[in-house]
Structure 1
Amino acid sequence: MKDFEFYTPTKVVFGKDKELEAGRLIRSYGAGKVLIHYGGQSAKKSGLLDRVKKSLEEAGIDYVELGGVQANPTLEMVRKGITLCLAEKVDFVLAVGGGSVIDSAKDIANGIADPKVDVWDFSLKKAAVTKSVPVGVILTLAAAGSEMSSSCVITDEETGRKRGYNSEFNRPVFAIENPELTYSVSKFQTGCGAVDIMMHTMERYLTGDEGTYLTDSIAEGVMRSVVQAGKESIENPRNYEARANMMWASSVAHNDLTHCGRTFFMQVHQLEHEISGMYPAVAHGAGLSALWCSWARYVYPGKVERFAQFANRVWNIAYDFENPEKTVLAGIEAQENYYKSIDMPVNLKTLGVKWEDLEQLADNCSFHKTRTLPGIRELDWKDMLEIYKMAYEA
């Protein structure tokens, strides 16, 4: 087991009607004025925004609003939020939504705390975040895990670049998690959420490190739970227990618990970011499911035992000690069949990705052939292109 630091400052307030406590929670952080940041019309139509505003008003907290965050949150929206918050002297950002809203809120909070720095420089890693204003979350979609993570992913639509950066300043101070707020999430988005949650765990699990059997057990439990909860949530969207397990899994999968003592790689996420950056209509979870099986078949020879363990412990496939590769391939097929069972794509053609764009995707992901992606098999430009081709033809 490798040395590690584990830091989870986010206070989770979990359960029915907990969004009504938003005002009390925000007041405890001494906020003077809040930005309520959200996505489309669902937060308004459901009455959620009205409940949140009432909670703030009862706590004597002033606020301004900024809606319209889209999937794959944009730099343009972040800049708009920073301008508004500086003009209104906002000192707390409340994200009401899923991962896209939360990431946009994080970037805005970092931008208003240090307005002399171009906020896009954080994403390009030209500048480091040194201060921020607090961010709180009312979660409405179990997927990205941004409600407890240190990550933030933003897309510059002008260039098609989708870039992520990590900072401990990105961790929200609290996350309100009411599973009932996810009842209205569509079957497709629920499936995307299941993919993303499981992927956050798989990418931490499928490494070359040994001696992490406690962390392994936690990760395996998360993955098995998501398989069950994802299907049950799709079959019965108002199944509270299924939605609750999905929501909690979202947070646990990306708050760093499932990689304690292990090296952390996110190759599939990096490959996918280029797809949804170039094709903004592609949902992140759909892009991940379209890539994972091809990625796994390409890299598994670098750590056959780990992939066989995944197949055995997550999918209950008998371990063939004489031919462990047989176990590996059966596990990858089981994962692929799960994606199909929840109507998630398993190839890039389904997403509308064009064959002629694959080299550009590899070029973008390799930063014009200047970077490789570390992992159990290090990926250079040629490897990236081969995985994109495999995923296209799958």
Structure 2
Amino acid sequence: MSQPLLQWYALYGRNNLPWQLPRTPYRVWISEIMLQQTQVQTVIPYFERFMQRFPNINALAKAHDDEVLSLWSGLGYYSRARNLHQTAKIVMQSHGGVLPDDYQLLKELPGIGPSTAAAIVSQAFNQPVAILDGNVKRVLTRFFMIKGYPEQAQVKKTLWELANSCMPQENCADYTQAIMDLGAMCCTPKNPNCPNCPLQNNCLALKYEEQHLYPTKKVKKTIPVQNQQFLVLYNEQDSIYLEKRPPVGLWGGLWCLPSVDEEDCPLDFIRLNYDLSGEPPRQLMTFKHRFSHFHLQINALSIKTKALGNTLSEKQGQWFAKEQINSLGLAQPTSKILTFHYNIDVKNECSVR
């Protein structure tokens, strides 16, 4: 498999991505974390901004949490950013500021699983360690006609064995990028470009004309919908009240607008929880925000408030002027709502969770 794949990569592969120029361990690591569950074209501008602000692991380790989350805001899956920051600190403290070139050591660091560790050592250190991301799973399940949902334990075990058996002992970095590129550019989820695939002569799914059956899809479940009211609480100075989410969980560590269940009265909520009085709410917008495991139907309301006491100081939040908003790490729905409220482009708003 490796020889025709490498020949194809030399002609058609993506060999000018930002993290390949130059291909350093630090740049490979950052890119691999960003690319988890996120497409290349989405990652590129985030990667370039991240590198401009944090050109090395020392700069990242010294950064404040809010700054890291602000630069990540819009990419989604924010635990990646927190793990990235924590790993940078560990590498500075325990590894002399040098990212380990050992697969087992890498797997012990926050946010680095088996496939990500393999991608780092193969691409940054040219070691023959196979990866198994979504693109690779798709290529292997079609090439070998592996039945069963790829995330099932036994199926995944088989795929790991095949991935390792296909891994060459030389040109490891190029092979790793090549098989990912093949899955992204040729062996795509829908309408794969089989006539131009370098593996077409030996692909079993193509031989039996069953490419569309692989990989086996997971049985879909009904995705629940939750209804929430997001409250834009602003005062006489046009400052906005935001709360910082706990480090772990949904939008962990990001700043968010207060929210209440659909059936709750917003004015009662802010009086009881924040000791604020408010004018009648004004509806701003409604939209659906999608997560992998549920959908959030959001009704955004704007409420001009007046303080009744000092209980706001007990909350994990504070008032921010309009000029301060872009310096914060915002949850995407909050960013979208504030963009509409202020009629300005809040930089953290993006199309990805």
TM-score of the superposition, structure 2-length normalised?
0.24
**Greater share of helix residues, 1 or 2?**
1
Which structure carries more relative contact order (alpha carbon 8 Å, separation 6+)? 2
- For the pair shown, the structure with the greater C-alpha radius of gyration is 2
TM-score of the superposition, structure 1-length normalised?
0.23
